[in-house]
Chain A
Amino acid sequence: AQTVTQSQPEMSVQEAETVTLSCTYDTSENNYYLFWYKQPPSRQMILVIRQEAYKQQNATENRFSVNFQKAAKSFSLKISDSQLGDTAMYFCAFRLEWGGSEKLVFGKGTKLTVNP
């Protein structure tokens, strides 16, 4: 089964602190892409960070970084120096490709609140 599990339905963090959102996934594929998407309240989903499974180096985008453990099928997101604008739903996803088709498989999301 191709699934994504986000075990933290809600999290909160104080402004300027660091928070880590967890994600585990299950796939039989060897080459795939992993993503973290952010969905602010009433706004569209935007890509935060992506990771190619064949790359061992963890991806980093400014204050956002991932801890990718391929053997453990774990893909956590660390947000440093949290800002009020980081308040949103965060979805972990992987891209599944087969026979010319493709889709993103999403977790249920983690609602992150950054408190002033």
Chain B
Amino acid sequence: DTGVSQNPRHKITKRGQNVTFRCDPISEHNRLYWYRQTLGQGPEFLTYFQNEAQLEKSRLLSDRFSAERPKGSFSTLEIQRTEQGDSAMYLCASSGSGVNTEAFFGQGTRLTVV
């Protein structure tokens, strides 16, 4: 296992288009997180999955955003009707069970909305 994998690495889209990102976590990890990072800021929490259940969604996640994790494996994050303000790095992380587990991050998907 080579770690958390995110695809695509870069995405340029026109305003109003829909985009979908994929995250493949470390195979034995049951916890999966999505974060958004804008320039000069730290990552901001978007959503959290435990297995296939989406247990938490941030208020940052508007109705245009949806995330899924079918079968508790890979996850997708879809943004509908993209806006310029959606331009950011979208980070995925995963961790195993237990109270003292480390979150491993992917390299992120950089979205540019033009």
Residues of chain A at the chain B interface (Cβ within 8 Å) = 4, 33, 37, 43-47, 50, 52, 91, 93, 100-109
Contacts and interface: CB of A to CB of B under 8 A. Distances in A.
Main secondary structure of the interface of A (DSSP, over half): strand
Interface residues of B, number: 26
28 contacts: A33-B99, A44-B3, A44-B105, A44-B106, A44-B107, A47-B102, A50-B102, A52-B100, A91-B42, A91-B43, A93-B42, A100-B50, A101-B55, A102-B31, A102-B48, A103-B33, A103-B45, A103-B56, A104-B35, A104-B93, A104-B103, A106-B42, A106-B43, A108-B40, A108-B41, A109-B40, A109-B41, A109-B42
A107 B43 CA distance: 8
A45 B107 CA distance: 7
Contacts of B41: 108-109
A33 B102 CA distance: 10
B45 A104 contact: yes
B28 interface: no
Interface of B: 3-4, 31, 33, 35, 40-45, 48, 50, 55-56, 91, 93, 99-100, 102-108
Nearest to B55: A101
